[in-house]
Structure 1
Amino acid sequence: MPFQISLEPGGQRFTADDDQTILEAALAAGLVLPYGCRDGACGACKGKVVSGEVDLGPVSTGALTDADRAAGLTLFCRAHARSDLVLEARDVRRTDDIPLKKLPCRVQRLEHAADDVMIVELKLPATETFRFRAGQYIDFLLSDGRRRAFSIASAPHQAEHLELHIRRVEGGTFTGHVFGDMKEREILRFEGPLGSFSLREDSRRPIVMIAGGTGFAPIQSLIEHAIHIGLERPIALYWGARTRAGLYRDELARSWEQALPGFRYIPVLSDAAPDDDWTGRTGLVHEAVVQDLPDLSGHEVYACGAPAMIDAARRDLVARCDLPADRFYSDAFTFAADSSR
């Protein structure tokens, strides 16, 4: 039995079957709710149930706390409608004309950017057009039915090749293959584009970008896209890593200061090694933002990295820097229970 779902404050309407999550039903209806991991781990799809009942599947307690539940919040990627619903969901978009595709690809190039970071360049079929928004990701489709998600680091105008930044995960099946047996010309299959993380191009507000580790990948896509379209808004990029080797694209980030007017790059190390000879900023990357920009009331923030970093940045920038909560856009890198990456 399909249930009627209404969204506030936008007034959009769609239906959801018993076996569909709210997110799945919205996407099928051509509506994009904010979302990231789709497995209840990142919290990007969190929204309020104004009226009606939902059945919530397994979720991370970090993504949906007891306080969230008490406030009537749920995760749209895990919740199934059990009645007609009125939901509060902001920043809802239409899917417009960018289709979701399943495509083969060939490994074109492998680059060891750091001991635990591999840059993988994929060549797409010449007969296919693959469109995406800067900041989105793809899922590799593995032979056993599992999926592995990675953000696209290249910009949309470079869509004939896709660049991914893959971090080695201890015990990870797929990343073990990437760092061990993968060879150039290997054929893979993927589905995409996925995710709602993207640049709000219709805004004129100054931008703060925060990357942790390989969270730099979608940020690279956003900035290369901004350069391509001639974006004229101040952008400050804070890239956090443990040691200097973690800033594996440091020269590229520094080059953007010449390519994009109003761009600033601030690298931050949390555990600099003695041989790093580091004289730059130290500590947690989001704390550097708090120190430099105590008033973010007129800004937008785009943050990518581990869930703990995303949660801390969201909490502190909203509470300590007056950032409006609905202007914090994030892509949290999550890992499934089976060492997915």
Structure 2
Amino acid sequence: MSINCKVKSIQQLACNTYQILLHPEAPVEFKAGQYLMVEMGEKDKRPFSIASSPCRHQGELELHIGAFEHNTYAIEVVEKMQQALANNSDIVIDAPHGEAWIREESEHPLLLIAGGTGFSYVRSILDHCISQNKHNPIYLYWGAKNQNQLYAIEELKNISAQHSNVHFIPVIEDMNSEWAGKVGNVLQAISEDFESLSDFDIYIAGRFEMAGAARELFTQNKQANSDRMYADAFAFI
């Protein structure tokens, strides 16, 4: 369904990463883990995960867009948002979309895996689980190139400190002298930390190749149940 939105605010979260708040003209019902499409043209719709959770979004839709150099696909969307904010004009979205939403009825432990701005997807799921007082163990692994790209690290540390069932594990590829956490590939870090993933519901957001690698690695080597692995990328790979 196409919906007109006002751009309420644009905030830089990290280098080339932006938080955008949209205010739709009519309420948008969605499930934690779904995404929307920004309409750039009649046949040009670009998907972005909804970072807000359905129970606490207060009528606003939050996006985290990584508009990195040479990524014109995302840069053009941010520029369109900036222009709409400056001119008080509308952005048109198509929402909701996606099948990788949280299975709320499940009592299995959750493994949330994010690469880069794929964090927006797992943030919606995490916040929804907390707001619904779910007590399932939740392990959130967030992989990024460097520490600066982990723009919500303090927020997640606070959440894990306040909720004993939430465990946050950041992983970066490029270590500096101040970093005391895990270094390397986020999927490899998970493999090292778990003997088996057979009990887990697994939610994945990141590049298509990462989602495909996770499915192959975890089903073949960690007894993960492919029927309880969720990623919108699976519809395309």
* Superposition TM-score, scaled by structure 2 size: 0.90
What letter is aligned with 1:316?
A: L
Q: C-alpha offsets along residues 147-198 of structure 1, whole Å, 9 cap, x if unaligned? A: 1111100000215000001111515155235158714334200111001111
CA separation in 1, counterparts of 2:74 and 2:118? 18
CA separation in 1, counterparts of 2:6 and 2:234? 24
Match of 2:149 among 228, 234, 246: 246
Is it true that 1:205 corresponds to 2:97 in the alignment? no
Structure 2 unaligned regions, length at least 5: none
Deviation of 1:212 after TM superposition, in Å, equals: 0.3
Q: Matches of residues 147-186 of structure 1 in structure 2 within 5 Å? A: 147-157=45-55, 158-169=57-68, 170-172=70-72, 175-176=75-76, 178-179=78-79, 182-183=82-83, 184=85, 185-186=88-89
Is it true that 1:218 corresponds to 2:118 in the alignment? no
Q: C-alpha offsets along residues 14-63 of structure 1, whole Å, 9 cap, x if unaligned? A: xxxxxxxxxxxxxxxxxxxxxxxxxxxxxxxxxxxxxxxxxxxxxxxxxx
Match of 1:141 among 36, 39, 54: 39
169-178 or 213-222, which deviates more: 169-178
Is it true that 1:107 corresponds to 2:7 in the alignment? yes
Q: Which has the larger radius of gyration?
A: 1
CA separation in 1, counterparts of 2:39 and 2:81? 17
Is it true that 1:116 corresponds to 2:16 in the alignment? yes
Contact 1:237-1:266 within 8 A present in 2 as well: yes
Match of 1:304 among 187, 205, 220: 205
Is it true that 1:330 corresponds to 2:231 in the alignment? yes
CA separation in 1, counterparts of 2:224 and 2:80? 43
Deviation of 1:261 after TM superposition, in Å, equals: 3.4
CA separation in 1, counterparts of 2:145 and 2:169? 14
Q: C-alpha offsets along residues 258-299 of structure 1, whole Å, 9 cap, x if unaligned? A: 343310000000123x4x621210111011111111111111
Give me the identity figure in percent: 32
Q: Matches of residues 258-297 of structure 1 in structure 2 within 5 Å? A: 258-272=161-175, 274=176, 277-297=178-198
Q: Matches of residues 86-97 of structure 1 in structure 2 within 5 Å? A: none
Structure 1 unaligned regions, length at least 5: 1-100, 336-341
Contact 1:305-1:331 within 8 A present in 2 as well: no
Aligned-partner SS, 2:41: coil
Aligned-partner SS, 1:253: helix
Is it true that 1:236 corresponds to 2:139 in the alignment? yes
CA separation in 2, counterparts of 1:150 and 1:307? 14
CA separation in 2, counterparts of 1:226 and 1:323? 22
CA RMSD across the alignment: 2.1
What letter is aligned with 2:99?
A: S
Distance change (3 Å), C-alpha of 1:171 and 1:321: closer
CA separation in 1, counterparts of 2:130 and 2:8? 25
Distance change (3 Å), C-alpha of 1:270 and 1:325: same
CA separation in 2, counterparts of 1:141 and 1:246? 27
* Superposition TM-score, scaled by structure 1 size: 0.64
CA separation in 1, counterparts of 2:23 and 2:148? 27
Is it true that 1:188 corresponds to 2:188 in the alignment? no
Aligned-partner SS, 1:155: coil
CA separation in 2, counterparts of 1:124 and 1:141? 14
CA separation in 1, counterparts of 2:113 and 2:126? 12
Distance change (3 Å), C-alpha of 1:235 and 1:146: same
